[in-house]
């Protein structure tokens, strides 16, 4: 060991000596990385300094060509109201907690956002894209973290922030391989696991790197690594990460290097054969985005998701028939300091829908769908925030499905009262085109709990109403939605929409023996909005 230490010491000294004697010669070189020479000098930002930093005047680039710049834009304003939120329960059902006017939570607000997208084509294979967004709730003067952003930082709920910011490189070392690196959207199929969530005033966006390889016109492979939480940088701002050990809540253990981090890795292979689209998928994610084990997404976990989506549209005697199936199974482990045992993850979710579009005026589509997702009986009896196990301990399995980052507003009712988590859902609807420039939709929904000891989760996957201990009621209620859209210009660049819904509570609310409500003071929840949207 002593000989090894001495050898290492003298080797280090020799390397340092050679480096110092050679440094002046390297420093004298000014050749940029534009030829075949390898003696490129080091520069402060660690890349060839083709466009130097300015000392006074801002830099300009000879590469810039206005013809290579494309700018897009969106602006949306939406007034929205909601009456009798959570049916007056205050978010939980408990004996003696009868509804009252103080817990009805009627609300009215106006949301607005503006986006500009700057797309610059540096070369046929290299693209620069930056999309800032201004999000605002009218009358709200203080920035707040955006609930619609996985990173939820930098005042993105009411401020100017980067919606997207990435470089796109085609033929990245291999023909037909495209790399996208930076802040980006991830949108799959019909948005049930990943979507842009544009109904929200912020939407989902992810920091990471993704690859897309085109095997042939009908088969491609996608993979990505997304960082959705960086524990070392929490609250410290950009450029302030130290990498030192930090302590985070929600059961994530103290440590160095990766404390509090959360990652998503996936591989997906969309393909099309004979008019049938197949999208097999594998997803892995760890940690969580907050909360204790009873929260929307358990922390300190390693969860695998396998499954996919299949869809087809066929014409039968001029009648268009569409059918879609999507399903996933999740497995892995959840653990936390002080928890009596690791819990195995065993969760699932299934979706089926179908419809027919008739070849008659207004092109009516009549459709129906079924959704189911598992829930966990331990949701209200396990805690990891303090390392304790409540109510007699935890079962060996955690069965709550994790829907990741979907656009749930287009599923399970427009009132956003249900997630693909601990639920059974039936729906039927009619869609038609009253004119060539308009669209009308009428849909009915029926909801049930899958596991009565688990909670009712709304579209954001957060708890909407906490189930009481010993709950036996699974009938959540029903919802009716009506939405009308009018387009004003060729290309649908201007659209106006008006919509609303009513949710009628079921036995879980108005006839639950655990609550003592017995229909006293419980009412329907109503919701409505109108919005004007311009995009170009």
> Residue range 412-418: average pLDDT?
95
Q: Express each pLDDT in 358-412 by its tens digit.
A: 999 999 999 999 999 999 887 776 644 333 333 334 666 889 999 999 999 999 9
Residue ranges per domain, the chain? Answer: 1-62, 63-535
- By CB neighbour count within 10 A (0-12 exposed, 13-18 middle, 19+ buried), where does 235 fall? exposed
When pLDDT is averaged across residues 304-324 and rounded to a whole number, the result is 96
**How large is the average pLDDT for residues 148-163?**
57
517 neighbors 99 (Cβ within 8 angstroms): yes
What average pLDDT does range 445-471 have in this prediction?
90
At 93, is the pLDDT very low, low, confident or very high (cuts 50, 70, 90)? low
Residue pointed to by tokens 């009252």: 100
Instruction: Compute the distance between CA of residue 527 and CA of residue 85 in angstroms, rounded to an integer.
Output: 9
DSSP character for 53? Answer: P
**Residue 251 binned pLDDT confidence (cut-offs 50, 70, 90):** very low
For the chain, the C-alpha Rg in angstroms (whole number) is: 27
Whole-angstrom distance, CA of residue 38 vs CA of residue 357: 64
pLDDT at 297 over 80: no
Segment 434-448 mean pLDDT: 96
Q: What rounded mean pLDDT belongs to the chain?
A: 80
Using 50, 70 and 90 to split pLDDT, how confident is the model at 443? very high
* Residues in contact with 248: Cβ distance below 8 Å, sequence separation at least 6, in sequence order: 231, 234, 254, 259, 260
CA gap 192, 251 in Å, rounded? 28
Give me the pLDDT at residue 15, please.
46
% of the chain beyond a pLDDT of 70: 71
Looking at residue 256, what is its pLDDT? Answer: 33
Q: Using 50, 70 and 90 to split pLDDT, how confident is the model at 103?
A: low
CB 106 within 8 A of CB 85: yes
Spell 486-515 as b/e; 16+ CB within 10 A means b: ebeeeeeeebebebbbbbbbbebbbebebb
For 478, half-sphere exposure in the C-beta direction (CA atoms, 13 angstrom radius) is 8
d(CA 392, CA 377): 13
CA 177 to chain centre: 25
In 3D, which of 523, 536, 531 has the Cα closest to residue 89? Answer: 523
Contact 227, 265 (CB under 8 A): no
Q: Tell me the average pLDDT across 185-207.
A: 93
295 pLDDT more than 60? no
Q: Does the pLDDT of residue 290 top 50, yes or no?
A: no
- Which CATH number fits the domain 63-535, given the four candidates 3.40.190.10, 2.40.160.100, 1.20.120.10, 2.60.120.650? 2.40.160.100
Q: Taking 70 as the threshold, does the pLDDT of residue 6 lie above it? A: no
Q: Give mean pLDDT, residues 95-118.
A: 75
pLDDT class of 95 with cuts at 50, 70, 90: very low
Mention every residue, 6+ apart, whose C-beta is less than 8 A from residue 132.
115, 116, 160, 161, 162, 163
pLDDT of residue 442: 98
What integer is the mean pLDDT of 203-229? 94
């Amino acid at each position: 060991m002593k000989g090894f230490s001495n050898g290492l010491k003298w080797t280090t000294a020799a390397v340092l000596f050679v480096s110092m004697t050679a440094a002046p010669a390297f420093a004298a070189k000014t050749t940029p990385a534009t030829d075949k020479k390898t003696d490129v000098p080091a520069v402060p930002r660690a890349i060839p300094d083709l466009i130097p930093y300015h000392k006074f005047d801002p830099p300009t680039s000879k590469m810039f060509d206005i013809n290579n710049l494309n700018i897009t834009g969106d602006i949306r304003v939406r007034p929205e109201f909601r009456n009798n939120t959570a049916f007056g329960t205050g978010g939980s059902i408990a004996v003696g907690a009868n509804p009252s006017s103080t817990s009805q939570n009627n609300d009215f607000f106006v949301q607005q956002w503006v986006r500009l997208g700057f797309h610059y084509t540096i070369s046929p294979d290299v693209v620069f894209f930056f999309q800032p967004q201004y999000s605002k709730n009218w009358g709200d003067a203080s920035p707040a973290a955006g609930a619609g952003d996985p990173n939820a930082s930098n005042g993105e709920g009411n401020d100017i922030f980067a919606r997207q910011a990435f470089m796109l490189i085609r033929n990245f070392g291999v023909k037909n391989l495209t790399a996208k690196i930076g802040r980006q959207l991830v949108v799959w199929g019909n948005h049930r696991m990943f979507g842009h969530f544009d109904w929200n005033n912020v939407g989902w966006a992810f920091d990471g790197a993704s690859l897309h390889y085109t095997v042939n016109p009908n088969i491609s492979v996608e993979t990505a690594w997304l960082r959705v939480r960086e524990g070392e940088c929490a609250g410290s701002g950009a450029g302030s990460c130290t990498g030192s050990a930090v302590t985070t809540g929600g059961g994530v253990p103290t440590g160095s290097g990766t404390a509090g981090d959360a990652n998503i890795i996936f591989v997906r292979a969309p393909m099309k054969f004979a008019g049938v689209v197949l999208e097999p998928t594998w997803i892995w994610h760890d940690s969580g985005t907050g909360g204790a084990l009873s929260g929307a997404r358990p922390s300190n976990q390693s969860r695998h998701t396998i499954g996919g989506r299949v869809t087809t549209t066929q014409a039968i005697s001029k009648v268009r028939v569409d059918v879609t199936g999507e399903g996933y199974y999740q497995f892995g482990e959840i653990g936390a300091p002080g928890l009596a045992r690791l819990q195995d993850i065993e969760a699932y979710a299934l979706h089926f829908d179908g419809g027919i579009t008739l070849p008659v005026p207004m092109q009516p589509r009549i459709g129906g769908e079924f959704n189911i997702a598992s829930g966990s009986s331990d949701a209200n009896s396990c805690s990891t925030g303090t390392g304790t196990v409540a109510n007699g301990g935890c079962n060996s399995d955690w069965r709550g499905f994790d829907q990741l980052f979907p656009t749930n507003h287009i599923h399970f009712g427009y009132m956003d009262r249900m997630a693909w988590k601990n639920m059974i859902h039936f729906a039927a609807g009619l869609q038609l085109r009253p004119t060539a420039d308009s669209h009308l939709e009428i849909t009915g929904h029926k909801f049930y709990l899958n596991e009565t000891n688990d909670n009712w989760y709304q579209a954001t996957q957060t708890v909407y109403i906490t189930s009481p201990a010993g709950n036996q009621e699974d009938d959540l209620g029903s919802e009716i939605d009506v939405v009308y859209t009018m387009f004003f210009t060729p290309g649908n660049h201007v659209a106006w929409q008006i919509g609303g819904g009513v949710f009628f509570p079921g036995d879980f609310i108005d006839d639950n023996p655990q609550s003592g409500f017995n229909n006293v003071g419980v009412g329907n929840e109503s919701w409505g909005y109108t919005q004007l949207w311009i995009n170009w």
